[in-house]
Structure 1
Amino acid sequence: MKTIAVGLDHSQESEAAARWGAAAAVRRGGRLLLVHGYAPAGAAQGLAEFDIENIRDAALARADAVANSLRADHLQLRVDTLVRPELPVPLLLQVSEHVDLLVLGHHRANWLERLTSGSVSAILTARSKCPVVTVPFGNVCFDGPVVVAVDVDAPSDQAIKTAFERARDIGQRVTIICAIPDDAAPEQISDAYARADTLLDPWRRQYPDCPVNVQLVNGDPHRSLAEAVPQASLLVITRPRAGTAFPVWTTSVTRAAHHAARHPIAVVDHSAS
């Protein structure tokens, strides 16, 4: 049974992520694991024991409330909770080693986060051991196409497979988007389209009932990929092939798309491990 884990806190974004994860788990015949980390005693030295107990009780209550709501909405879904006195990032990184998908709420990064590695969801997206989906609040939608960003010079089978599987699960089409320069000559544009269309031949045979189209987007991919298909139900993109160390991640197309996307975005490794 596949396990989808959701990072939970007290935000609306994390509840939106939990609802997205629950629907995905139902479609996959899997289980949902709600993970809530709260400040351990060593990280809260200025707090009295009474305050720490209140933090723990609030975390337990939040996890139980969301779990019960999801069980009521999805009667056949197994929903488990994991609440521990650990900081969220290290806890979720540990969990990511043992689950099939990690789902996180995504909020708009503040000025400090934009200058550094980004929000908690961005940090986990870069370092998670499993694929990650981040869900902005108010954007739980299954009615749009599944979009996958593809580099025709180095296409990712893992990303394309993820997109087709998701599209099959929700009964939607796949849209392949490829970035081209603003000053691309007509023959370059034709060549890029033909190469993108050709690489889809084996996927069309494997998923004959899943319609797919190619869309070229011009301009800087840092901004154009996230905005190419505004009605998308999911954007699939790969982690930087050069790694996710701080300098690489902060300047990557993946991080820019993660920051700008207004719909759920899935980040997967370029190739299967």
Structure 2
Amino acid sequence: MRSGPLTIAVGIDYSDESAAAARWAATMAEHHGWPMILVHGFAPPLFVGSLPGYRLDVAHDVARRRVESLADDLRLTFPDLHLSTLLSSDPAVPLLVKVSTEVDALILGHHRPGWAERLTSTSISCTLSGLSHCPVVTVPFGHVTPHGPIALAIDVDAPSQRAFEVAFDRAELTHRAVAVVCAIPDDLSLADVESTYARADALLTPWRRRYPDCPTTLQLIPGEPHRTLADAVPDASLQVVTRPRLRHSRTRWISSVARAMQRRANSPIAVVEYEQAP
């Protein structure tokens, strides 16, 4: 339903996860004729950059070889891909936040840190999911279900127009079904279950009319959404979830359903801005 090609950016580093995310993005970009840009900010942590033996020219050369090598591999594998690169000495997070104002989607690799890493740091993908100006798709290493439905997690009390749009646009482009999931409390009465289902179904009505060729299912999932929604559609090719409405609130992001799903999901997950229906 959009006019003109999307432009997608892929944030890369030296990890297998970022290379896998680039390949996942390249598959989409080549198929749909979307321009794609590889982005690498190679600024070191402050304590590394201040060490006597650190040389910016060497760091730049290593980063350049990484970007060129990955770009060459992608061009060989995807000969019709419209690919460009951006190499910068800026730190990765502010660079990618800036890039997110100029593209339609930001693709990042995602790995699951151990408990010690969770206590001492946060991943770039999690940080950017809370700051980006465009949807962020994090791709776990080893994703193997590219042909499954698009899963859309909704909150009937605060539905996001943008999340519906992203999910249905993606489903239409890839000829996939949309599997809508909504978490409900375990102890909800039968009458309240029926009422919640009716409200969720009513939210879908205009989207079913707008996208008549996209099969749509709706499922209520009992349980805490932080634990249940990530696994609700195990064969999903993409999951779509809304981030907290206060984008720059770190506390809201850390405790959000979107972050919990991102950490648990086995498939790519798109975290999109909250946008209320008009």
Normalised by the length of structure 1, the TM-score is: 0.93
After superposition, what is the alpha-carbon deviation per residue over 1:132-156, rounded to whole angstroms, capped at 9, x for unaligned? 0000001154211100111112211
Question: Which of these residues, 228, 231, 235, is aligned with residue 232 of structure 2?
Answer: 228
Q: Secondary structure at the match of 1:270?
A: coil
Distance apart, 1:118 and its partner CA? 2.9
CA contact (8 A) 1:41 1:85 kept: no
Gaps in structure 2 of 5+ consecutive residues:
none
Partner of 2:219: 215
Gaps in structure 1 of 5+ consecutive residues:
none
**Residues 41 and 218 of structure 1: is their aligned pair in 2 closer, same or farther, counting only changes over 3 Å?**
closer
Q: After TM superposition, what 4+ stretches of structure 1 lie above 2 angstroms from structure 2? A: 26-29, 39-43, 51-55, 109-118
After superposition, what is the alpha-carbon deviation per residue over 1:98-152, rounded to whole angstroms, capped at 9, x for unaligned? 1111000001133355347731110011001111000000115421110011111
Measured in 2, the distance between the counterparts of 1:138 and 1:54 equals: 32
Question: Which of these residues, 61, 68, 77, is aligned with residue 64 of structure 1?
Answer: 68
Partner of 1:173: 177
5 Å matches for 1:151-170? Answer: 151-170=155-174
CA contact (8 A) 1:34 1:82 kept: yes
Measured in 2, the distance between the counterparts of 1:264 and 1:150 equals: 17
Q: Does 1:118 align with 2:122?
A: yes
Q: Does 1:93 align with 2:97?
A: yes
Partner of 1:48: 53
5 Å matches for 1:29-40? Answer: 29-39=33-43
Q: Secondary structure at the match of 2:271?
A: strand
Q: Secondary structure at the match of 1:91?
A: helix
CA contact (8 A) 2:145 2:237 kept: yes
**Residues 239 and 248 of structure 1: is their aligned pair in 2 closer, same or farther, counting only changes over 3 Å?**
same
Amino acid at match of 1:66: L
Q: Tell me the percent identity.
A: 49
Q: Secondary structure at the match of 2:86?
A: strand
Distance apart, 1:47 and its partner CA? 4.6
Deviates more, 1:100-109 or 1:194-203: 194-203
RMSD: 2.0
Measured in 2, the distance between the counterparts of 1:238 and 1:74 equals: 31
Amino acid at match of 2:134: C
Normalised by the length of structure 2, the TM-score is: 0.91
Q: Secondary structure at the match of 1:108?
A: coil
Amino acid at match of 2:141: F
Question: Which of these residues, 204, 215, 223, is aligned with residue 200 of structure 1?
Answer: 204
**Residues 181 and 262 of structure 1: is their aligned pair in 2 closer, same or farther, counting only changes over 3 Å?**
same
Aligned residues between the structures:
272
After superposition, what is the alpha-carbon deviation per residue over 1:201-238, rounded to whole angstroms, capped at 9, x for unaligned? 11111111110000111111011111111111111001
